[in-house]
Structure 1
Amino acid sequence: MPHAAASGRLLVTGIGELVTNDPAPDREGGPLGILRDAALVADDGVITWIGRSGDAPSLEATADSPHPHRIEVLDARGRAVIPGFVDSHTHLVFGGDRAEEFAARMAGRAYEAGGIRSTVAATREATDDELRARLAGFVRELHGQGTTTFEVKTGYGLSVVDEERLAQLAAEVTDEVTFLGAHVVPAEFTERAGGADGYVELVAGEMLQACKPHVRWVDAFCERGAFDAEQSRRVLEAGRAEGLGVRVHGNQLGEGDGVRLAVELDAASVDHCTYLSEADVAALAGSRTVATLLPGVEFSTRHPYPDARRLIDAGVTVALASDCNPGSSFTSSMPFCIALAVREMGMTPAEAVRAATAGGAAALRRTDVGVLRPGARADLALLDAPSHVHLAYRPGVPLVAETWKDGARVA
């Protein structure tokens, strides 16, 4: 990871409620695997022990510890500790903003995918240093709100040179970089004879080759106003042939082919899932593909919220993510998304917290984050609250007291 693990040993003690996402017969909360009066030990950024505070091992120097001289103790003082949030869908590298567009939507104008092009223009004009500084600010926001793992998409360059530089900048802050050249068709291609198909040829060819050294994933916006199923397939299959994992934007503005395509290609995640047919739900339930829900979008666009209850009851793995972007969801707050999911999408507080941690990890096909157990990364958030329930119970209140990533405090 771009962030190095802490060297030494860490003891977190006095935890009133420890959400592990690692259920066991002696733990409460079903899938949350809650321990009371708990403690946690990490060595060099990796968890080595979890249990009751009274059973915590001594942190004296040991022969097998490469850094026995550095020992840090954090007393939670009865507060809750949860896994660091895993935000599996963001668009953090961009120039400008679209505040006027937001104000117009709140006055009644409908949301359309084409607004992305105004951000493309501002991003192309921005320097690397300007984009890097803004990205660093967003990372501080994420850490300050308990997020320890996050994905970042390209998609606001839409030329070979600009998509490559966005991928490079994103890779400076996360390993979870997604190539989203197939975001929308840029203005210069709508005016050419080649049109959308000509742009898809560029994305699946030269643009992909330029970006692939810096990214782990390939994505496509399979939606009206963006790319149809066959255009999306061409890009996604080209990325998969180069060894990239597949992600899909789909079913945001209406029922469509996004979910079907994602399941067919064994995508790690299909994101939005606002409008789903019974066949879509059944396909997701029978697959490894995670349904990533983005309630900040519905808050910002006044579209109907996804029906998380329907998905969960069908056995679909659900993740929550911020979709932080300047057009349709300009929030970096996973606690806010949890509160929306509970209030508007039929999720319980426990389901929403799990979706924002273990669910996000599943959407990135990660087993080392989103969970607190031996062998996982020491990524955790200390809450100024006695329980995870307060994340939904006290919406808008900054409840994350400290954030630790790889055993080091980052906020």
Structure 2
Amino acid sequence: MSDGGAVRRMLLTNVGELVTNDPAPDRDGGPLGIVRDAAVLIEDGRIAWVGPSAHVPSHADELRHEREERRDGEEHRTLWDADVEVIDAGGRALIPGFVDSHTHLVFGGDRADEFAARMAGRRYEAGGIRSTVAATRAATDDELRARLAHFVAELHAQGTTTFEVKSGYGLSVADEERLVRLAREVTDEVTFLGAHVVPAEYAEDPDAYVDLVVGEMLGVCAPHAKWVDAFCERGAFTPEQSRRVLQAGAATGLGVRVHGNQLGEGDGVRLAVELGAASVDHCTYLSEADVAALAASDTVATLLPGVEFSTRQPYPDARRLIDAGVTVALASDCNPGSSFTSSMPFCIAVAVRDMGMTPAEAVWASTAGGAAALRRTDVGAIRPGVRADLVLLDAPSHVHLAYRPGVPLVARVWVGGESPDRFSR
């Protein structure tokens, strides 16, 4: 950041492999746009220049010349006149920060017993959400806030620099409002998910609960949210109920997201495409018509491998989607019931092992794909003008994220050019 008018600059050099997600004819890796022996110049929290390390001096001269032309009598520091923090990457790989476009981080309690029972053979069902609702309602704001801060630190330490947070564990007007309000304290990417499941008190009249969601609940939650979501699935909400919620949210100016096709084929994907949703998440069970609809749209298919790992459901077929031309994102779906992981490197490893993705595709889906799912152009890449969200790997290549599963390879993280000490080793 600027301090008293001074421009803060940082130069990362000796980057063995730079994943830019900005392809060019002279770059390797297809969509990854890999630059070898690279350098990155950061200026006031944004990427100012990217290229081979050998070209940094000549580029610095160009920057100095341009700045002198714009001085207009004012005193400005040029690149090498200022204090420039120079960081030697030691030949390691540098990638964009992970963009986790699907999390549920504000909740009370946990469901470890449910997980153990599932591993012993009990089938996963969406109704388990109600136990987390009870624990969340019983928690104080300060308890939820402290736990949320812990999860945010956990995300950052594993290389996630942009993340979405959903509500959905309050399911009353007051509790949903406080969940989106608390989420807004840590991210702009807040999703109102009042239509997560029908709470117990409305079990006999789910349509009355939908009336509440699209009325009073939406009214108090929309000011804190950017998105609206609905769980269009058996055991949750019907296509008609989901449509009501999503259209009501869109009418208030919220962007549309959808949980769909997790437990079986259904109408979630088609509803998402019809309503122009930014993403439809899960996509575990897809018909040929679903795949064709996604391929013909700009709706991102967000896959959540942690869910299938934790529930022993079949993994979604990423290869099928990618080959059809669908934009695919990976996200953690960090939640206490079906995917209690915040690790995007873990999701990458599982996607490569079990979902038919190459390491390059999985890294792209976890960075640029997540940005697309959030309709963001300022994150998920390393190119001039975007926010300087960077992850230095303790490895020579992005491939090691899948090649060395479970190994903590995130050596350093920058969020907007800032590197908190606790994220370093």
Q: Do both share a fold (TM > 0.5)?
A: yes
- 8 Å CA contact 1:90–1:150 kept in 2: the answer is yes
Which of 202, 221, 242 aligns to 2:231? It is 221
Asked whether the 8 Å contact 1:7–1:44 carries over to 2, the reply is yes
From 173, 179, 187, the counterpart of 2:186 = 173
Deviation at 1:74, TM superposition (A): 1.6
Q: TM-score, length-normalised on structure 1?
A: 0.96
Alpha-carbon distance, 1:70 to partner = 4.6
SS at match of 2:197: coil
Larger Rg: 2
CA contact (8 A) 1:342 1:392 kept: yes
**Greater alpha carbon shift after TM alignment, 115-124 vs 71-80:** 71-80
Superposed CA deviations along residues 292-336 of structure 1, whole A, max 9, x for unmatched, are 000000000000000000000000000000000000000000000
Query: 2:135 matched to which residue of 1?
Result: 122
Letter of the structure 1 residue corresponding to residue 176 of structure 2: E
Tell me the TM-score normalized by structure 2. Answer: 0.93
Select between 153-162 and 71-80 the one with higher mean Cα deviation: 71-80
Q: Does 1:47 align with 2:60?
A: no
Kindly report the root-mean-square deviation, in angstroms, between the aligned alpha carbons of the 2 structures.
Answer: 1.5
* 1:137/1:70 CA distance change after superposition, 3 Å: farther
Q: Which runs of 5+ in 1 are unaligned?
A: 1-5
Report the Cα distance in structure 2 between the residues aligned to 1:385 and 1:150, rounded to whole angstroms.
Answer: 24
Match of 1:268 in 2: 278
**1:253-289 deviation per Cα after TM superposition (whole angstroms, max 9, x unaligned):** 0000000000000000000000000000000000000
Matched with 1:8 is 8
Q: Which residue of 1 aligns with 2:3?
A: none
Shift of 1:58: 3.8
Contact 2:7 2:77 in 1 (8 A): no
- Give 5+ residue unaligned stretches, structure 2: 1-5, 68-74
Task: Letter of the 1:132 partner, please give it.
Answer: R
Paired position in structure 1 for 2:175: 162
Structure 1 contact 306–345 (Cα < 8 Å) conserved: yes
Q: 2:18 corresponds to which residue?
A: 18
Residue 64 of structure 1: CA displacement? Answer: 5.2
Letter in 1 for 2:43: D
- Trace 1:1-400 onto structure 2 (pairs within 5 A): 8-56=8-56, 57-58=59-60, 69-191=82-204, 195-400=205-410
Q: CA deviation at 1:71?
A: 2.6
Give the aligned residue type for 2:108: G
Q: In structure 2, what is the Cα distance between the partners aligned to 1:386 and 1:157? A: 44
Does structure 2 conserve the Cα–Cα contact (< 8 Å) formed by 1:8 and 1:66? no
Corresponding position of 1:3: none
Between the two proteins, what is the percent identity of the paired residues? 79
Query: Structure 1 65/48 Cα, relative in aligned 2: closer, same or farther at 3 Å?
Result: farther
Contact 1:7 1:45 in 2 (8 A): no
Q: How many angstroms apart in 2 are the aligned matches of 1:28 and 1:73? A: 25
Tell me, in whole angstroms, the C-alpha distance in 2 between the residues paired with 1:71 and 1:154. 41
